[in-house]
Amino acid sequence: MTSEVVENEFEFYSKAEKYWKDVPATVDGMLGGYGHISSIDINSSRKFLQRFLRDGPNRTGTTRALDCGAGIGRITKRLLLPLFKTVDMVDVTEDFLTKAKSYLGEEGRRVRNYFCCGLQDFSPEPNTYDVIWIQWVIGHLTDNHLSDFLKRCRAGLRPNGIVVIKDNMAQEGVIMDDVDSSVCRDLDVVRKIIRRAGLHLLAEERQENFPDEIYHVYTFAMR
């Protein structure tokens, strides 16, 4: 539980905000020096996501997606804009969202909103999104804030919409990273928080072909 490792909630959030303000607004900066894994990541995410966009009675729509912890728009540009008519982006760092406007190029015209906000304070517009994509950012939320945010995401989905989390998973328990002021949870803790938010897991997948020295990365789809 994050309550065991986060001593001061205000400090936990403000330290993370300060950390990201000093990170370069580049793909390498977004990925902590691992910019070279971006294509492997995007290709796997696309395969994972497309299984929900195929034909069928419960097919997820392709009208609008939300990119949470969007940074400069790496996922918006390469994963979401090619598949969805419009995308909204939310990130706590204003400089990243400013950079996104040039990084996204012509296709960026289809980004409808740039929300500058921490996810603990963000509420997706109800009944609006086909897909809410949350990648490499849940570690910046306490358990309670993550559960509450996922409840708000659930309300933000259109019929047959899905919430997707893709993130690092610890081997056991909850590990604090003092450098960027984030936590890494194990699979059981994340699954419990998903259930607590009233969401039902549809699929879970471990990312392959990432460097051995980094955490295992898992993707979850839920509604």
CB 218 within 8 A of CB 207: yes
190 is in an annotated binding site: no
Q: Are strands 111-116 and 86-91 parallel, antiparallel or unpaired?
A: parallel
135 is in an annotated binding site: yes
Strands in 129-135's sheet, in edge-to-edge order, are 111-116, 86-91, 64-68, 129-135, 157-169, 216-222, 201-206
Taking the CA atoms of residue 74, residue 85, residue 164 and residue 203 in that order, the dihedral angle to the nearest 10 degrees is: -120
> Could you count the other beta carbons within 10 Å of the beta carbon of residue 32?
12
119 is in an annotated binding site: yes
78 is in an annotated binding site: no
219 is in an annotated binding site: no
Taking the CA atoms of residue 93, residue 98, residue 103 and residue 108 in that order, the dihedral angle to the nearest 10 degrees is: 110
207 is in an annotated binding site: no
For residue 160, give the H/E element and its range: strand 157-169
Of the candidates 33, 158, 24, 31, the residue with the CA atom closest to the CA atom of residue 99: 24
CB 134 within 8 A of CB 166: yes
Matching residue, tokens 């990119």: 67
Binding residues: 69, 74, 91-93, 119-120, 135
Binding residues for S-adenosyl-L-methionine: 69, 74, 91-93, 119-120, 135
